[in-house]
Amino acid sequence: MKRALRSWPLVGLYYSKSHEEQPRVRCAVRRRLVKVGKSLRTRTCNCMGDNSMSERIYRGDAQDEYWFQEGCYILEVANHPADPQVSIARARVEPGLVTQWHCLHETWERYLIVAGAGVAEIGASEPTPVSAGDVVSIPPGTRQRIRNTGTQDLVFYAICSPRFTPACYRSLE
């Protein structure tokens, strides 16, 4: 009788455990250790995609911030081909400015507002005030822009899934 052993996620990795509850092998590219009779074999596991990305701490360096054509400053915090499921960038909109109308092709975007105040315009929805702690969810292909209505920089994290690439950006102006 074939019986798969339980797998426990741990910091983005999957460790298969034997019946003795001891770590046996780390998942490598969608594989896990299973027990078949008295022997151990590998089988496809339920992890999310390729595990080629290793554990890591990403640190944004303010010197890497750049002006983006959309009308804001961007600091790429985590945007790597080894992690195609998500990208994270810090965006900064100066007081009185508004980003251009745009959409992202086949990419979900979320704004996590961390400082300042503004108005988000998403799809056909009414313009909505946003401030620190708010999350704006934007489906793929939905037009969007954000305006800084405050006296300090509007700062938010743009979290994209799958990860942002220039090919997914569509200017609507």
Residue 89 has what pLDDT? 96
Please give the structure tokens belonging to residue 55.
Answer: 């554990």
Residue 53 has what pLDDT? 60
Residue 57 has what pLDDT? 81
What class, spelled out in words, does domain 62-171 have in CATH? mainly beta
CB-based contact 61:72 (threshold 8 Å): no
What is the C-alpha to C-alpha distance for residues 51 and 77, in angstroms, rounded to an integer?
20
Residues of the chain within CATH 2.60.120.10 domain(s) are 62-171
Cα 89-95-99 angle, rounded to 5 deg: 50
- Tens place of pLDDT for every residue, the chain, 173 residues? 433 333 333 233 333 333 333 333 333 333 334 444 555 444 443 334 444 566 778 777 888 999 998 999 999 999 988 889 999 999 999 999 999 999 999 999 999 999 999 999 999 999 999 999 999 999 999 999 999 999 999 999 999 999 999 999 999 99
